[in-house]
Structure 1
């Protein structure tokens, strides 16, 4: 793939595909269109009792878009990653253009977890998440789901279904079903940044009230 731009990247998401690299040192980027797609039903996030208890008691705080670069770097900080330098630069450009966002989890001033992704219409395409403390990525994901619900999003694309995501309520759907949901989500508009920020305690309270 050559001359990949933020505009082409967004067009790819609109078509239902997304880019990856084989590893951080591979300059080549390729498009992916999984036969089975991972999605997080926005009314199906599984908040376990232990996670709810941890969120009520945690001293962690959350923010949005405070340190997008730090979240991407945290996601890439692992032995095996598909996030190379070009992908980092492209998503940074999308963030500056208002199409990519992050949710951060902080322990005082230390970034300990987060999620980042791309928005288009009422769809949120989750790219990656990381955790440097127990449950930090799960808390970030819960905060994302809460924000998507309050902002009027209809699709949370997780790309693939991992055991970690499945434990939180994510499921697999067919490519055809995914494209149908994507077409519907592209017709509307939702603003990831619009809802006021909530504490993790408030997030878990809303989720337990609506479950």
Structure 2
């Protein structure tokens, strides 16, 4: 007779020895293996079987957690999104100026991470070739923008000024600036100083203030 999962304690973290905790560890291990295979082989050439072998599990174990390769790739991207936005919320709690060092570090760390560079390149390339995957990637970008929007609104309120762009547009530009600088630094490291993102973002927001 199946043993039911132990209830998750207050706070949302499963107990270390519970079946739920074991499932979370397996889930994380599958994402780690997928990141390695996608970065090495590319999305198109990667297979569920190879990801399973890298993780040391059966193919069936992957399908117990994910609907397929595309679902696995998007889950991998969402894991990174959640981690990055958790960092952003923590760093921006006291306003943008106090968070500039951490934001700049995020740009350089992302640009200098070879695996992250390959995964991002694979995502965009495959999205251009496969409309369904492109739609899913666009939805991922929408979630990222929605995560950022409350932080943008809080910064505008902290400044006490109206902007010439909507908060949604500011969020889009901030994400585009981040992605663009990351790509430039990957190709030509010296072209993007370590503090450029923070300085550019401050200049952008200062310039958005409407004047009577």
Tell me the TM-score normalised to structure 1 length.
Answer: 0.26
**Greater helix content:** 2
Larger radius of gyration: 2
Tell me the TM-score normalised to structure 2 length.
Answer: 0.26
**Greater strand content:** 1
Q: Which has the higher contact order (CA 8 A, sep 6+)?
A: 1
